[in-house]
Amino acid sequence: MAYTELDMDISPELKAMKKEIGNFARKVMRPAGIELDKLQNPEDVYAKDSVLWDVFKATRAMQLHTLSIPKAFGGLASDKPDPKTSGVLYEEFGYGDIGLTISMGGSSPFRLAAASQDPKLHQVVKDYVNDTEADMIGCWAITEPSRGSDFVQSADPDFNDPKCTPELRAELKGDEYILNGQKAAWVSNGTIATHASVHVNIDPSKGMQGNGLAFVPLDLPGVRKGKPLNKIGQRSLNQGEIFFEEVKIPKSYMVVSDPKQMQVMMRDILTAANGGMGQTFVGLAQAAYDEALTYAKQRVQGGVPIFEHKNIQLQLFNMFIKVEAARAYARRMAAHNAVNPPGLLHYAIAAKVLSTRTAYEVANEALTIFGGNGLTAEYPIEKMFRDARAGMIEDGENNTLSLMGAKHL
């Protein structure tokens, strides 16, 4: 990135990781993301000969898929993490490609399995850690066709109206849960995932407060997947529906079976998810700014590079301010939450809202600097603009999240 590192206490180990992941983001993720974005058919994104699988295998070779898996299972997650780590590394991932970053981060079901008491699930986690061929892909199955932001607000204890009960129900019969219902087309990795952490309703009388969280292998009888979603942005990120019809899972696979415990966990999940999004979109904002700065020094109008025009200088400096402000806040939030688990939800929400908004605004300004060229696929800025716009909706629409965060002020 074309910025001066202002954090003076980044460890030598983290600097080395930052450099390695930065190279991976620029040389592997960025070109792969551009190639996948240009595919007209979203099914081609995950075809057997797709570059997507090259990216996945490369992440396995670097053990990046284990970043959030506890060391007890062979992962890289430490009991006492460096508070700077996530903020620094996720910026690099976001700089490469947002869609691929989210897809690569599909370790949710395996983290859930690690938290269970079932030895069989513990073995699944170890198998995932040792998977070098990307045979095991995870997804976070939460959103439903008529329950999007409702799930985001399910961490609110007052959100217990039975009229807002999720569609996907889990009924306990003997030693098994029977799952019936579906998840919406917005499930990241939904079409390619082999395992899922699935939000289900256990007690319909409690509305969104009657939920549980299950680990579900997606090769079970009764599981069916829909077509991949066709989107304007983040096209490198596979997303699709998942249907459950009389799907049977062992009782132990319902890792969180107490709705009250689930309410607490939901808040923790939202804190981690929003915090991660805040860090990642700083990387996209930086990438858009860098593209605009480079172009401004090359593009000649009026006999000089457009960077020589004062209006462009002012525009770029305002973009620079926004990126640095978002980076400073996202890192500060991440560092605090890393050493004070599970962290502060409203601060994580603020990071997500600020960073995604910054990425969108900076990409929009960058596209303006590119002029007509910014509208063409010849340059990456129009893709960054589309990817940034999606970020203001995914993992919680920004206005909905802001209203939720305001309750904690």
Residue 389 has pLDDT above 90, yes or no: yes
Q: What are 160-170's pLDDT values in tens digits?
A: 888 889 999 99
Confidence of residue 2 (pLDDT cuts 50, 70, 90): low
CA distance 84 to 81: 8
DSSP secondary structure, 83-126, as one string: TTHHHHHHHHHHHH-HHHHHHHT--HHHHHHHTSS-HHHHHHHH
Most confident of 7-11, 81-85, 404-408: 404-408
Q: 12-129 and 262-406 share one CATH topology?
A: no
pLDDT number for residue 71: 94
CB 384 within 8 A of CB 284: yes
236 Cα distance to chain centroid: 13
Residue 375 near residue 382, CB atoms below 8 Å: yes
- The number of beta carbons lying within 10 Å of the beta carbon of residue 149 is 15
Each domain of the chain, given as residue ranges in start order, spans 12-129, 138-259, 262-406
Domain 12-129 listed as CATH 1.10.357 = no
Token pair in block for residue 22? 């930065």
Tens digits of per-residue pLDDT, 218-264?
A: 999 999 999 999 999 999 999 999 999 999 999 999 999 999 999 99
pLDDT surpassing 80 at residue 1: no
d(CA 190, CA 242): 7
Would you place residue 96 in the very low, low, confident or very high pLDDT band (cuts 50, 70, 90)?
Answer: very high
Residues 216, 179 contacting (CB under 8 angstroms): yes
The C-alpha atoms of residue 60 and residue 65 are separated, in whole angstroms, by 6
Percent above pLDDT 70 for the chain? 100
Of the candidate ranges 119-123, 161-165, 272-276, 399-403, the one whose mean pLDDT is the lowest = 161-165
* CATH no. for 138-259: 2.40.110.10
Token pair recorded at residue 381: 């800025």
* pLDDT at residue 277 in the model: 97
Give the DSSP H or E segment for 171: strand 169-173
The angle formed by the CA atoms of residues 85, 318 and 380, to the nearest 5 degrees, is 70
Identify the band that residue 105 occupies on the pLDDT scale cut at 50, 70 and 90: confident
Question: Would you state the pLDDT for residue 205?
Answer: 93
With CA atoms as reference, report the closest residue to 289 among 350, 358, 236.
358
Q: Topology of domain 262-406, per CATH?
A: Butyryl-CoA Dehydrogenase, subunit A; domain 3 (1.20.140)
- The Cα–Cα gap between 105 and 103 comes to 5
